[in-house]
Each structure stands twice: as structure tokens, then as C-alpha cells.
Amino acid sequence: MRRLAILAGQEIMKIYEDADFEVKVKSDESPVTVADEAADALISAGLTAAFPDIPLITEEQAATHGLSASTFLIVDPLDGTKEFINRRGDFTVNIAYVEDGVPTRGVVYAPAKDRMFYTMPDGQTVEETGDFDPETPGPTKPLSVTDPDNGGLMVVASKSHRDQATDDYIAKYAVKDMTSAGSSLKFCLVATGEADLYPRLGRTMEWDTAAGHAVLAGAGGKVVRFDDHTPLQYGKDGFANPFFIAYAPGVELKSQ
């Protein structure tokens, strides 16, 4: 999964650094580029060869098949397409393994930011640094969520999908500082301790969140539904998520 994420990132960066690339609009009116499609083809081929018996869901192919299993691989080959198109750099390659509805393994690679996060075989999340050689992992450091100060929280919110409802919810907390980030990097900022709380009151799909969810869980964090604070589950019909909250466990969650 790590190797495929890096190879996909290399393909994405070739297109990102090109002067011009085609942007198409999908049936749900979301944008898609040749980078999405190239990364999807590369990752899909690699995962299918490595794990032929495990169902695979990807954003670019989800419309062509359903899911009848609670254990599966799920991929967003280019999360943050709007960030990619606007050359803001906050886009990621997301690959996750879901067991019984719970993301237990995940890789989040941000090639334009030179940041990579993934879960080790024991479930611990690490951040890798170095040259990101596809064949040879570089130095890693284990990640752990912060012990938050509820009198002054660090909050991260979406860069492209911020709205009044999100701001109203954040206003329920004592906030020391706010930051914004695109794609699944928001989960990773909570995993590293750079943020304490990430509320999402907007549309997301399982492929948007599964890898980041696994990364955060492996650092001791949690992801729960916004409405009843029960754990966010995967393998839902249609793959759509409810609103959710990702956080370091010491955060005293507010009701909606």
C-alpha cells in the first residue's frame, strides 16, 4: 500500500507540474482530472494483484459496483482534486483496509507537501521522512495525539468546504488557534498533535476518510458520528458518510 501510494504520487506530480491538464466534470458535478484517472489505474492494478480475494472500492470506479462485504480495500487516488486544480498542494493519495467496518490500515501520502503517514503492522501510526523511495522505507517516527487543553484547543477545518454550520459548531469550544487544510491531511494533523479537533459538517464519502481515519486511530485518536458520537462505520450503502468529528480523546465533545 505504501509503495503504490508513492508510485501514484509520482504520476500525480508529473501532471501537477505540467502547464496544462484537462479537468472534467463527473455525474455528481465534482471535478476529475487525468491525474485522478492515472493514479486510480495504477493503484487498482497493484492492489488487485497483491490482494486478489479482497474486494476493492475506489472513488473513480465506485459507481460500477456495489459492496457485499464488511472487509475491503478502499481508495481515493487523488483526494482534494480542487486543491490539485488550484495548485494549492493539499491533496493526498489515500489507501485503506477496512475490517468488519473499521479502518485498521491506512496510507495517506501528500506528494506536494512531502508528507507521508501510515499504519504499521502492529497498528501504530508513523510519519515517514526521507526520499520516499517506493521500494525502501525511509526513517519513521511514531505518532500520538496530543493531550488537549480544553481551555484552548487547536482546531483544523476544511479549506474548500468551510461553512456557517461548521463555524457555529466550532464556536462552542474555547479555541486557541485555527488552521485549515485540504483532503485527508486534516486527520493527519490531529494524529501528529498539530490539531486537537476536526469537525466535518458536510458531505464526504468513505474513500475520502478511511485512510485518514486509520492513521488517526493508530495515533490514539477517534472518529465519531456528529449526531450521536458513536464510532463512524464503513461499508455503508452508497458509501456516503454522515457528519462526523475527528478528535484527540481528551477533547470534551459538545453536542450539536
The pLDDT score that the predictor gives to residue 63 is 55
The pLDDT score that the predictor gives to residue 142 is 98
**pTM listed for this prediction:** 0.93
Angle between helices 185-192 and 206-218 (to 10 degrees): 10
CA distances from 141 to 118, 138, 223, 243 (A): 11, 10, 22, 31
- Cβ(249)–Cβ(190) below 8 Å: no
Q: Where are the domains of the chain?
A: 2-142, 153-247
Give 111's contacts (C-beta < 8 A, 6+ positions apart): 6, 9, 10, 12, 13, 16, 93, 132
Q: What percent of the chain has pLDDT over 90?
A: 73
- Cβ(183)–Cβ(110) below 8 Å: yes
Mean pLDDT of 66-92: 85
What CATH number has the domain spanning 153-247?
3.40.190.80
The pLDDT score that the predictor gives to residue 33 is 72
For residue 219 the three cell numbers come to: 495515533
DSSP state of 231: B
pLDDT > 90? residue 73 = yes
Q: SS3 sequence, 25-75?
A: ECCCCCEEEHHHHHHHHHHHHHHHHHCCCCCEEEHHHHHHCCCCCCCEEEE
Q: Looking at per-residue confidence, does 238 or 176 come out higher?
A: 176
pLDDT tens-digit map of 147-161: 999 999 999 998 666
Angle between helices 2-16 and 34-50 (to 10 degrees): 160
Confidence of residue 48 (pLDDT cuts 50, 70, 90): very high
pLDDT tens-digit map of 109-140: 999 999 999 999 999 999 999 999 999 999 99
Mean pLDDT of the chain: 91
Superfamily (CATH) of domain 2-142: Fructose-1,6-Bisphosphatase, subunit A, domain 1 (3.30.540.10)
